């Protein structure tokens, strides 16, 4: 059937998402990632609980969401990869550099993200074979320390992560990305709800809830607001070309603002659920709330080891984190792959293979940052930290400002209104006006503050 179609068709149709639910699954899959597990809940707990969540939502509305909609619109209009999109829109001007910047950034993020994803994958097996089951943090800390300081073990797991994502990307947009995220996202939700349910019914769970939600407005400083803005960028996968690329696979009838709002809300829900799965249990067993790798790889295993049937929940937990990391990596890898396919006319398989080979090479520097290269520092940072710093503090904000300015000032109200409303189909004049004002004035200024703050040129307490 497919064959005969292929023979009669002269022009090759660009592979795209085939349904609104597929669009939602893929886009949400990109947003949901390690950020929901090790960044959002701990940042929330440490910075004012419910008050922080409120601030985060305002930041998302003022900065994250407007830029996300802008990227999706650029992608859908041009039906092109992140670099090609700007070449098409502005053939004579260097706007395409925004896209190139994004593609490079997606590589840098992948370099350390695949490293951590590898650790997470391996923890599924470590929890299965029992090597992690200890209620003593110094034991789990040693297991983690031994693992990451063993170059070969961490490299092999990183390659496994690259291979898994590579296989999915080779299968294409509809048969790979869309199909896999449509299957995995519901599984992630179910596992998350089960884990949160378990944690919430433990004795003493209330203390975790207090840590997570107790509103403390006195903690909301300028610095916390900037951190919330930066987080909204990382969470919604902005400034990396991912949303431009995914937007390019969306159909003309797709209601982009609605999709973006759904993704933002569902992503925030996943972060809150992750917090509910983690902190009530952490406090119930008398552990300290940690963040980053320590929370995920040292505290959490001890917490699970402390509860009845802990091993089962530990396996479920690491499966769900693996799913989150995988669907985010898919969107990151698709950026360079789409570029190679469209700009250099490479077949998808070759584009994917080359990308994962380069990633494996760049990734080595990040992975070895916890072993052989631990003392090798650039600007006082290991490769791992440097890639994280450069992408979050430099590239994401710069490309976010550029996208907001490009759309707000170059496209202007009329064109944005036309695109966002699907050429007049969706009617909400008032909201579109507000959107354009945010994009033109508020978002660029706010992101500029995040950028200056990240570079240490402007400090807020």
Smallest CA-to-CA distance from 237 within 352, 67, 383, 461 is with 67
CA–CA separation, 396 vs 234, rounded Å?
A: 8
Cβ proximity to ligand PHE, 267 vs 419, nearer residue: 267
Among 27, 30, 114, 245, binds ligand PHE (CB under 6 A): 30
Q: Which CA distances in Å does 68 have to 65, 187, 353, 363, 365?
A: 5, 25, 29, 27, 31
Cβ proximity to ligand PHE, 184 vs 328, nearer residue: 328
Q: Is 36 in the site for ligand PHE (CB under 6 A)?
A: yes
Cβ proximity to ligand PHE, 122 vs 331, nearer residue: 331
Residues in region 226-255 near ligand PHE by CB under 6 A? 234-235, 237, 240, 242
Q: Is 364 in the site for ligand PHE (CB under 6 A)?
A: no
Cβ proximity to ligand PHE, 254 vs 388, nearer residue: 388
Q: Is 73 in the site for ligand PHE (CB under 6 A)?
A: no
Count CB-CB contacts under 10 A for residue 190. Answer: 12
Kindly state the tokens that stand for 415.
């064109």
Count CB-CB contacts under 10 A for residue 268. Answer: 19
3-state DSSP helix/strand/coil percent for the chain, to nearest 5?
80, 0, 20
Residues in region 331-350 near ligand PHE by CB under 6 A? 331-332
Minimum CB distance to ligand PHE, residue 434 (Å): 26
Among 31, 108, 360, 432, binds ligand PHE (CB under 6 A): 31
Spatial contact of 42 and 290, defined as CB atoms under 8 Å apart: yes
Cβ proximity to ligand PHE, 35 vs 208, nearer residue: 35
Interacting span for ligand PHE (CB under 6 A) from 16-24, 30-38, 157-165, 307-315: 30-38
Listed in sequence order, the residues at least 6 apart from 190 whose beta carbon sits closer than 8 Å to its beta carbon are: none
Point out the residue whose Cβ comes nearest to ligand PHE: 33
DSSP 244: H
Kindly state the tokens that stand for 272.
């809150």
- Give residue 354's Cα distance to chain centre: 23
Q: Is 102 in the site for ligand PHE (CB under 6 A)?
A: no
Q: Is 34 in the site for ligand PHE (CB under 6 A)?
A: yes
Interacting span for ligand PHE (CB under 6 A) from 27-35, 154-162, 181-189, 276-284: 27-35
Listed in sequence order, the residues at least 6 apart from 253 whose beta carbon sits closer than 8 Å to its beta carbon are: 422, 425
Smallest CA-to-CA distance from 301 within 321, 326, 324 is with 321
Cβ proximity to ligand PHE, 233 vs 383, nearer residue: 233
Cβ proximity to ligand PHE, 40 vs 144, nearer residue: 40
Minimum CB distance to ligand PHE, residue 331 (Å): 5
Q: Is 181 in the site for ligand PHE (CB under 6 A)?
A: no
Q: Is 33 in the site for ligand PHE (CB under 6 A)?
A: yes
Minimum CB distance to ligand PHE, residue 210 (Å): 25
Smallest CA-to-CA distance from 16 within 159, 239, 178, 197 is with 178
CA–CA separation, 314 vs 337, rounded Å?
A: 34
For the window 106-125, what string marks contact with ligand PHE as x by the rule CB under 6 A? ---x----------------
Smallest CA-to-CA distance from 372 within 380, 357, 383, 388 is with 383
CA–CA separation, 229 vs 397, rounded Å?
A: 10
Among 133, 328, 407, 443, binds ligand PHE (CB under 6 A): 328
Minimum CB distance to ligand PHE, residue 11 (Å): 31
Cβ proximity to ligand PHE, 209 vs 394, nearer residue: 394
Q: Which residues bind ligand PHE (CB under 6 A)?
A: 30-31, 33-36, 109, 234-235, 237, 240, 242, 328, 331-332
């Amino acid at each position: 059937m497919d064959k005969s179609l292929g023979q009669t068709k002269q022009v090759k149709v660009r592979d795209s998402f085939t349904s609104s639910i597929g669009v939602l699954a893929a886009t949400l899959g990109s947003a949901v990632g390690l950020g929901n597990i090790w960044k959002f809940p701990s940042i929330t707990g440490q910075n004012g609980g419910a008050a922080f969540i409120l601030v985060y939502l305002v930041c998302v509305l003022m900065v994250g969401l407007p830029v996300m909609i802008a990227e999706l619109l650029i992608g859908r209009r041009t039906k092109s990869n992140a670099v090609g999109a700007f070449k098409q829109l502005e053939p004579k001007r260097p706007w395409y550099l925004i896209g190139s910047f994004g593609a490079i950034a997606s590589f840098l993020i992948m370099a350390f993200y695949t490293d951590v994803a590898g650790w997470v994958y391996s923890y599924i097996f470590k929890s299965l074979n029992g090597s992690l089951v200890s209620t003593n943090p110094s034991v789990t800390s040693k297991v983690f320390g031994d693992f990451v300081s063993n170059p070969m073990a961490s490299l092999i797991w990183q390659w496994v992560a690259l291979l898994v994502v590579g296989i999915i990307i080779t299968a294409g947009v509809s048969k790979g990305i869309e199909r896999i995220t449509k299957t995995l996202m519901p599984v992630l939700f179910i596992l998350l709800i089960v884990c949160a349910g378990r944690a919430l019914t433990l004795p003493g769970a209330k203390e975790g809830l207090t840590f997570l939600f107790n509103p403390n407005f006195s903690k909301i400083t300028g610095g916390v607001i900037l951190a919330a803005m930066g987080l909204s960028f990382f969470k919604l996968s902005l400034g990396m070309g991912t949303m431009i690329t995914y937007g390019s696979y969306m159909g003309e009838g797709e209601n982009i603002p609605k999709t973006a709002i759904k993704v933002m809300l569902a992503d925030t829900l996943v972060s809150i659920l992750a917090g509910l799965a983690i902190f009530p249990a952490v406090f119930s067993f008398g552990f300290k709330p940690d963040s980053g790798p320590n929370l995920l790889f040292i505290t959490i295993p001890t917490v699970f080891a402390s509860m009845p049937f802990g091993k089962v929940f530990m396996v479920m937990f690491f499966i769900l984190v693996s799913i989150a990391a995988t669907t985010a990596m898919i969107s990151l890898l698709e950026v360079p792959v789409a570029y190679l396919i469209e700009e250099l006319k490479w077949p998808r398989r070759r584009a994917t293979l080359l990308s994962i080979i380069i990633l494996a090479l760049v990734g080595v520097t990040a992975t070895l940052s916890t072993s052989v290269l631990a003392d090798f520092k650039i600007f006082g940072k290991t490769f791992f930290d440097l890639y994280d710093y450069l992408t979050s503090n430099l590239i994401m904000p710069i490309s976010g400002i550029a996208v907001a300015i490009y759309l707000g000032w170059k496209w202007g109200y009329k064109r944005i209104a036309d695109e966002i409303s699907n050429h007049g189909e969706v009617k909400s004049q008032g909201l579109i006006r507000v959107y354009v004002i945010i994009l033109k004035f508020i978002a660029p200024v706010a992101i500029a503050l995040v950028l200056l703050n990240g570079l240490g040129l402007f400090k807020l307490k």
